[in-house]
Amino acid sequence: MKIVLISLFMVVNVFIANAKEKVSTGDKVAQVLSLNLSPSEVVDSVLEVIYLECDGGLEGFAEGEVIMVEKVIPFIKNHAKQLPLKKQSEVYIMYAKLCGRQGKERMGDAQRLCDSAIGLARKAGDWNRMGRVYELKALFEEMYGDSRRAFEYFGRSIDCFRKSKENAEVDISRSLFNQANILLRLSDYDGIARVIQRYEDLLNHLKNPVNRDRIYFDLLRIKDVYFGEKLKGAGVSQKKALLDSLNQAELGAIALLETSDNEELRCYIDPTWLYYNRAVSFVEYFDHPSIDSVEYYISKMTERKGLNREEIDFEIQVSQQSLRASMWAKLGQYEKAWTMLEELLGQIQVTPNSKNLIINRIDIYEDLKKISETSGRYKEAAAYGDSIRQLEHQRYDMQLAESVKDSEAKYKTQETALALSRSEARRATTLAWFIGVAALFLLSSAIFMFYAAKQRRRRMAREVEFAKLRADIGKQLTRQYIEGLENERNRMANELHDGVCNDLLAVQMQLPENQARMLDACRESVRRISHELMPPEFAYANIDEVIRYFVNKQSGSPRVEYFSSACDWSEVPDATALEIYRIVQEAVGNALKHSGAALITVDMNLSRGLLRVEIRDDGKYNTSGKRGQGLGSMRRRASSINGDLMIENLGTGGTRLVLTVQL
């Protein structure tokens, strides 16, 4: 704490020293680096300066990155022996944040910097910091990458928090909550159920009782959303049990908030919208919502505030009235609901500062449109649809106006700075000639750099075009190679099945019974080879059924298991399905021959046009140093269908192959 106070004091002194003239962030950092402080105090102060100065959008993040590269990273490398590993890890975490917040194209750099921070924290034995960096990696994946990879990173953060010497139960709860949100977006309700179980295990083994209310409230929020989503597609037999579970979760959250003495929880939760969600549940999930229950929770929305009707926030009033109208519409009283919503629109028109409630107005028009359609007022429904479109355009115009206003504000700021510069230039007449020469030099440099950058962009465009042409030619050659290979397989399969098998049958019929049995086994082997070359199942089955049939044929040891998601597999084109089958066939064959595994699993999922196949084994490959053609063939097949193939050795033993194809 003492070090932090000293660092902040020094930073404030630097800012005060530069208050009379504008100093760049880079100069401020350079001044802090020159102070007579310990390396740790310098790092604390520098990170504070960058945090305060470089948080103003893409330009600020880019400026902070330049300062990191040119000044901070060299400093910590020169003082590595005096700086604790934890402090070095902090620098790389800040560096990663600056890169990651500049957009998707910088995510790779941000993740590599996070890995460096994790490595330093691991050497220091700081499991808590490792957990927080894994959380940062997960957030980058959530923003720009793969949700499932983000889920894995949150899982690693939980593992690190569990090993931390500090009490990290709230941190574990936060990562579990994020995992549940990811699974909700993926509609993986079985996964959410597992997260709920882990939450309950965490609560049953709490080390610090102070954390209980906060963690239990997050669990109830997850249950609320989980049971609400399950209710949407539930049958009549399941609905009652799910409603009971939903009621327990919502009532438990309300009771906890009303009785808990945890101040952090009270600051963390807005009770207004907790009561609102409870009222929404009555309207949305009950066929005949209780009027008393809905009105009770609507009134509770403002009860804790202790305000009169004039003082209640207008947005809350709009939400209350909209909810009442939805209730009456659910009860079949469309005229009453329609009248309430029309009155509400009138209030919005005459209420000051209500123009910002565009989202609420769109929701109201949506409800009016739905009520009109249900009650047969189709002309009115069309008019409401037009109003919705007008509001959408108005919202876009407002966003555009705000953007223009921000640009004008920045321009005025720049104009003011320019005017001050000119005023100072007039007073400093002795330096006027030097400023003129410098300006001319900068202008010449700018013109030169502009034309150089233009030429460089043209050259890069030509190189990109050539690379794209070369990639297209490579893909075309790959497709031709695969098509030729499949045609040859098909021809050989037909020759074996229609030619050799039939010839063997003719010979078999002319031999004695004991010799005929031997020939029959030979004919069956030829027939099996023919089917493996070109499976006849593709003529009447989809890719899921073909691969399931292929896996089921692999009897004996090792055991081969197949899992797939429930979806419409007919969406997969035949040509793509054949290449996927070949890749699975090759991968399973390699595992059977070379891995020495006890279990091989094939997992295939299709979601939102993205097909993902994972083949995993628990063995260890032993190819005696030989390198076959199977891997190259699989990569060529994946490339021919615009797929991506990834193979990795698992740390616990075994190998995982993942194929992803965007249909």
**Mind listing the pLDDT tens digit for each residue in 325-357?**
888 888 888 888 888 888 887 777 766 655 556
CA distance 176 to 151: 9
One DSSP character per residue, 454-472 reads: HHHHHHHHHHHHHHHHHHH
Per DSSP, 208 falls in state -
Provide the 10 A C-beta neighbour count for residue 292: 8
Phi–psi pair at 416, nearest 5 degrees: -60, -45
CA distance 441 to 559: 75
Residue 481, pLDDT above cutoff 80: no
**CA 386 to each of CA 346, 365, 366, 389, 409: distance values in angstroms, whole numbers, following the listed order:** 18, 10, 11, 5, 34
Provide the 10 A C-beta neighbour count for residue 376: 9
For residue 558, is the peptide bond before it cis, meaning its omega torsion is within 30 degrees of 0?
yes
- Determine the pLDDT at residue 458: 62
Segment 201-206 mean pLDDT:
92
- Determine the pLDDT at residue 501: 62
Per DSSP, 70 falls in state I
Confidence tier at 615 by pLDDT (50, 70, 90):
very high
CA distance 17 to 5: 18
Residue type (1 letter), 95: Y
Residue 409, pLDDT above cutoff 60: no
For residue 536, is the peptide bond before it cis, meaning its omega torsion is within 30 degrees of 0?
no
Given a contact cutoff of 8 angstroms between Cβ atoms, the answer to whether 271 and 304 are in contact is yes
In 3-state terms the chain splits into helix, strand, coil percentages (rounded to 5) of 75, 5, 20
CA distance 173 to 205: 13
Residue 543, pLDDT above cutoff 60: yes
- Determine the pLDDT at residue 163: 92
Confidence tier at 406 by pLDDT (50, 70, 90):
very low
Beta carbons within 8 Å of 648's beta carbon, 6+ residues apart: 655, 656
Which candidate, 143, 151, 203, places its Cα nearest to that of 173? 203
Which candidate, 88, 152, 97, places its Cα nearest to that of 122? 88
Output the CA angle 578-584-587, nearest 5 degrees.
140
One DSSP character per residue, 388-419 reads: HHHHHHHHHHHHHHHHHHHHHHHHHHHHHHHH
Least confident of 54-63, 196-205, 413-422: 413-422
Given a contact cutoff of 8 angstroms between Cβ atoms, the answer to whether 251 and 259 are in contact is no
Provide the 10 A C-beta neighbour count for residue 538: 15
Q: Exposed, middle or buried, 344 (CB in 10 Å: 0-12/13-18/19+)?
A: buried
Alpha helix stretches (DSSP H) within 591-661 = 630-640
- Determine the pLDDT at residue 1: 45
Burial 73-86 (b: 16+ CB within 10 A, else e): eebbeebeeebebb
**CA 566 to each of CA 13, 422, 601: distance values in angstroms, whole numbers, following the listed order:** 64, 70, 17
**Mind listing the pLDDT tens digit for each residue in 124-165?**
999 999 999 999 999 999 888 889 999 999 999 999 999 998
Residue 2, pLDDT above cutoff 50: no
H or E element, residue 603: strand 599-607
Per DSSP, 207 falls in state S
The better pLDDT of the pair 507, 68 is held by: 68
Residue 16, pLDDT above cutoff 60: no
The token pair at 502 is: 């039939």
Q: Please provide the average confidence, as pLDDT, over all residues in the chain.
A: 78
Residue type (1 letter), 228: G
Which candidate, 636, 635, 631, 612, places its Cα nearest to that of 621? 631
CA distance 373 to 389: 17
One DSSP character per residue, 74-85 reads: HHHHHTTTTS-H
Segment 13-29 mean pLDDT:
64
Provide the 10 A C-beta neighbour count for residue 249: 22
Phi–psi pair at 203, nearest 5 degrees: -65, -35
Q: Exposed, middle or buried, 403 (CB in 10 Å: 0-12/13-18/19+)?
A: exposed
Segment 644-648 mean pLDDT:
91
Confidence tier at 535 by pLDDT (50, 70, 90):
low
CA distance 103 to 95: 14
Burial 181-217 (b: 16+ CB within 10 A, else e): bbbbebebeebbeebbebbeebeeeeeeeebbbbbbb
CA distance 516 to 519: 5
Least confident of 239-243, 307-311, 451-455: 307-311
CA distance 477 to 499: 32
- Determine the pLDDT at residue 176: 94
| Entry field: residues in the chain | 663
- Determine the pLDDT at residue 413: 38
- Determine the pLDDT at residue 618: 87
Segment 91-118 mean pLDDT:
92
**Mind listing the pLDDT tens digit for each residue in 247-263?**
899 888 888 888 888 87
CA distance 468 to 100: 28
Given a contact cutoff of 8 angstroms between Cβ atoms, the answer to whether 189 and 226 are in contact is yes
Q: What is the largest CA-CA distance in the chain?
A: 119
Q: How large is the C-alpha radius of gyration of the chain?
A: 34
Percent of all residues in the chain with a pLDDT value above 70, rounded to a whole number: 70
Beta carbons within 8 Å of 97's beta carbon, 6+ residues apart: 110, 136
Which candidate, 77, 58, 70, places its Cα nearest to that of 27? 70
CA distance 197 to 409: 52
Name the most confidently modeled range: 148-152, 454-458, 529-533, 633-637. 148-152
- Determine the pLDDT at residue 411: 45
Q: Which residue has the tokens 């923003």?
A: 143
Segment 424-445 mean pLDDT:
55
Phi–psi pair at 23, nearest 5 degrees: -120, 135
- Compute CA 122 distance to the chain's CA centroid, rounded to the nearest angstrom: 26
The better pLDDT of the pair 605, 436 is held by: 605
- Determine the pLDDT at residue 173: 92
CA distance 223 to 276: 17
If phi over 0 gives left and psi between -120 and 50 gives alpha, with beta otherwise, what is residue 624? left
